[in-house]
Amino acid sequence: MEIGDFRLLAPEISLLGCVLLVILLDLFIKQKRILATVSIAGLIVSAGFTLVMWGTPPVVILSRTLAVDAFALFFKFLFLVVAALIILASQDYVNKFERFQGEYYALVLISAVGMMLLAAATDLIAIYVALELSGISLYVLVGFLKDQKSSEAGLKFLLLGAVASAVLLYGMTLVFGFTGRTCLMCIADFLQGMPATGILDNLALLLGLILLVAGFGFKIACFPFQMWVPDVYEGAPTPITAYLSVASKVAGFAVILRVFFVALGAPDWMSLNWGMLFAILSAITMTVGNIVAIVQSNIKRMLGYSSIAQAGYLLVGLATVGMATGSDTSGQSGLIFFLMSYAVTNLGAFIAVIAISNKIDSDAIDDYAGMGRQASLLAVALTFCLISLIGLPPTAGLIAKIYIFSGAVRHGLLWLVIVAVVNSCISAFYYLRVVKVMWLGVPPSKEKVPSSWALRTALAVCCLLVLLLGVVPGSFVSIAETATRFFGS
Amino acid sequence: MSVGLEHYLALSAVLFSIGLYGVLAKRNAVVILMCIEIMLNAVNISLVTFSRYVVPLLLTGQIFAIFVIVVAAAEAAVGIAIIIAIYRSRQSVDVDKFDLMKW
Amino acid sequence: MLYLRATFFVIGGPDYLLADFGYIGILLIIAVLFTVSTLLLPLTLALFGIVPKKSNPTKVSTYECGMETIGKTWVQFNFRYYFFAILFVAFDVLTVFLYPWAVNLKGLGVYGLAVIVVFFAILMVGYVYAWFKGALEWK
């Protein structure tokens, strides 16, 4: 019975096989470019398995630890695409470190396996292990450059990440102690069987809930667990910064959505409480992110604070999920659509930054002056992605914001939406400053800034997706709605 | 007086707090790593306790604890490796001195 | 997840607890007796004049055996030890997964064996990697 379960794990197993292959090949092959090809091939095979399974009825496998449902498959596919784009975008960058190129690809892939398992995990133990699998490989990647900034960023990320996972673990322990179960569906059954009291009557559960929010909050960088973001984003190799800000954050939201919706979502006396908690965190997170982003002079730090602000908008979706009663899934589908749009937009912006910064050898916004003339295509792409981050037409950002905010208004979160709209206006200020510097600034030289075909391909894919999501959102919305089908809902 | 559930939980909570205090107050990166280990071991105590008292017929908590031990070891190994890398370039493991980047 | 049913792994109900504490009590008494007797033994021997009372250079040396230390005792260890320590920790702790499997060896059968073999195969890739990268060499 369990043997058959492994067939449903084909995406993860094939990717793990690819990781082992990359590690072994690295020992014997001199031409390191082959490793990138092998990695991309592994990602494509894994994505193929994921697509084949799309549409099959949801099941849980391996003693209720992993779910194979539309939700998990959607996120697995998203992580595979992101990892492939990151590897393409790293092509120029990996030449900076002559040694350890194989390890770089292997760690990116291991982290992707961790995130895929994270999206599928339905058991607290599996969630913890998957979280650490993706986390530990990211700690190493952040410190990969081994220069002073990079290792400092790696150490900060590791220490804070380890504390966050310890806190998360304590929260899990309390939930386990309270319910006696670790599988999410069993926890939901237990809670539904309880008399509907208030959360304040169950202090152990309340404490567990708060610690869970704190632990997961680190992963998605919501207030007050966002202090690591700017330092780590600045110090890490830029492709890894992109990977952190996109894949790691999306994985965090995926696991929060599953844990809170499946395990703690059923009784209203639970869900209304955490819904309100997320609403408050959302308002503070987006405000802090946007206001501090204004004064940044380093583009990686600015995008770091911008991604904190985006996490704030994403939390609006989580708050909606909590406030919604009955079978309305507009919160979930809005959140999933926003995650999709955020992933491609932010990735596009970071890839453009990788391309430009790699050539001018600086991350300062002022050094981007005149990029409109030196590297027109890159500047157009970056401008387009920044416009999408603000939420202006004709981009993915606009549709995503309308979608997520309309759901929130319907469930009585009008005040939060007003805060979010005001924040979007503030954010326009610092995003457009970069655009202004690029197009109106005077370039120091007339020299063109070249970029490799791999980078251009990755950037083109991102921009195309941003445009498609913005112009013809219909089919993507239906994908997002399908992806709200969890096991057990 | 017999030793029961609440005693183990109190022990676990105290240990966790000691670890958290150490993380916040200590400056040596290696000591911070040790404090994180204390926190994780505090969690292990409460996991095994809950397993013994709440679901005595299942071994869920013990299995969870085994996973925590292994993951903690991996984390410590990576942590020490990063600390070695940073010590080579800075000749120091004092976290207060790691302030190249500030907002 | 291997939900191992507790058949013989966990100590039974509260009835058994008292007996178990009894064993611990016996262990404690033996431990105390052993410590006290080993402490008293040299004093007793000295009383009968079997061991010398006067000190000599060999008697006061550190540990009374082994090599004399050269240079300062408080030296910083070569950081290469860390590499071995890290590798040791990584491989050592993973064997903890073998205990639950070994305890329920028969119950898990061929399936359990296959899982453990795959687990070890993955571990071996890491070992081969460390070996070929020269992490096991002292240079």
Mutate to test the interface with C, among A24, A60, A113 (most CBs of C within 10 A): A24
- Both C102 and C132 in one domain: the answer is yes
Question: Can you give the pTM of this predicted structure?
Answer: 0.86
Chains adjacent to C (≥3 CB pairs closer than 8 angstroms): A, B
Answer whether residue C17 is part of any domain. yes
- Stronger pLDDT, A302 or A7, i.e. the higher one: A302
Q: Concatenated DSSP letters for C67-115?
A: PPP-S-S--PPPTHHHHHHHHHHHHHHHGGGHHHHHHTHHHHHHHHHHH
Q: State how far the alpha carbon of B69 is from the alpha carbons of A125, A423, B41, in Å.
A: 12, 43, 8
> Rounded to a whole number, what is the distance in Å from the CA of B43 to chain A's nearest CA?
6
Which residues on C lie below 8 Å from A21 (Cβ)? none
**Does C91 map to a domain?**
yes
Cβ atoms < 10 Å from Cβ of C61: 11
Q: Over 50: is that where the pLDDT of A41 sits?
A: yes
- Chain C nearest-CA residue for B60: C3
Number of neighbours of residue A422 by Cβ within 10 angstroms: 13
State the count of interchain CB pairs (< 8 A) between A and C. Answer: 24
The residue out of C31, C49, C70 marking a domain boundary is C70
C10, C77, C81, C108: best to mutate for the B interface, most B CBs within 10 A: C10
Residue B101 has pLDDT above 50, yes or no: yes
pLDDT per position as a tens digit, A59-104 = 888 778 888 888 899 999 999 999 999 998 888 778 776 678 888 9
Instruction: Measure the CA–CA gap between A198 and A268, rounded to whole angstroms.
Output: 10
Residue A66 host element (H or E): strand A66-68
Domain count, chain C: 2
Q: How far apart are CA A290 and CA A427, in angstroms?
A: 6
pLDDT band of residue A345 (cuts 50, 70, 90) is: very high
pLDDT of residue A7: 82
What is residue A145's DSSP assignment?
T
Closest-CA residue of C relative to B83 is C82
Domains and CATH numbers, chain B: 5-89 (1.10.287.3510)
Chain B residues touching residue C97 (CB < 8 angstroms): 66, 70
Q: Nearest CB to A170: which of B16, B61, B67?
A: B16
Chain-chain contact of A62 with C1 (C-beta, under 8 angstroms): yes
What are the two backbone dihedrals, phi and then psi, of residue A100, each rounded to the nearest 5 degrees? 65, 30
Regarding whether C80 and C139 lie in a shared domain, the answer is: yes
Greatest alpha-carbon span in chain A: 72
- Looking at the fold, whether C88 and C51 belong to one and the same domain comes out as no
How many angstroms separate the CA of residue C14 from the nearest CA in chain A?
20
**pLDDT band at B45, cuts 50/70/90?**
very high
Same domain, yes or no, for C86 and C63? no
Q: Quick check: is C106 in a domain? A: yes
Share of chain A above pLDDT 90, in %: 37
Interval A207-233: pLDDT, tens: 888 899 999 999 898 888 888 888 899
Neighbour-count burial for B19-34, b at 16+ CB within 10 Å, e otherwise? bbebbeebeebeebbb
**Consecutive 10-residue averages of pLDDT for chain C (139 residues):** 36 52 83 91 82 72 69 72 82 85 86 89 89 80
A3 contact C CB<8A? yes
Q: How many H-runs (helices) and E-runs (strands) does chain A carry? A: 21, 2
Where are chain A's structural domains? 2-482
CB contact (8 A) between residue A20 and residue C2? no
**Statement to judge: residues C119 and C82 lie in one domain:** yes
CB contact under 8 A, C129 and A23: yes
Query: What is the signed CA dihedral for A184, A189, A190, A194, rounded to 10 degrees?
Result: 140
Q: How much is the pLDDT for C14? A: 47
Peptide bond preceding A393 in cis form (omega within 30 of 0):
no
Asked if residue A46 has pLDDT above 50, the reply is yes
Output the pLDDT for position A125: 93
Which residues make beta-bridge pairs with A183?
Answer: A123
Q: Which residues are A121's β-sheet partners?
A: A66
| Residue reference for tokens 């070695």 | B84
Dihedral (CA of B53, B59, B65, B68) sign? negative
Tell me what pLDDT residue C10 has.
40
Of residues A236, A228, A241, A219, the one with CA closest to residue A143: A236
Within a domain: C136: yes
Please tell me which residue of chain A has the smallest CA distance to C132: A27
What is the CATH number for C82? Answer: 1.20.58.1610
pLDDT recorded at residue C20: 66
Range with lowest mean pLDDT among A252-261, A304-313, A336-345, B91-100 = B91-100
- Residue A308 pLDDT: 92
pLDDT confidence of residue C3: 37
Cβ burial, residue A45 (10 Å; 0-12/13-18/19+)? middle
pLDDT of residue A474: 85
Residues A376, A378, A384, A389: is their CA dihedral positive or negative? negative
Question: Which of C22, C50, C70 marks a domain boundary?
Answer: C70
Residue A133 has pLDDT above 70, yes or no: yes
Domain boundary among C55, C70, C85: C70
Domain limits for position C48: 9-70
Contact C4 B63 (CB under 8 A): yes
Nearest to A27 among C1, C2, C129 (CB): C129
Give the model's confidence band at A267: pLDDT under 50 very low, under 70 low, under 90 confident, else very high: confident
In the predicted model, what is the mean pLDDT of residues A327-350? 89
B69: pLDDT strictly greater than 70: yes
In a domain, C101, yes or no: yes
Same domain, C58 and C14: yes
The ipTM of this complex is: 0.93
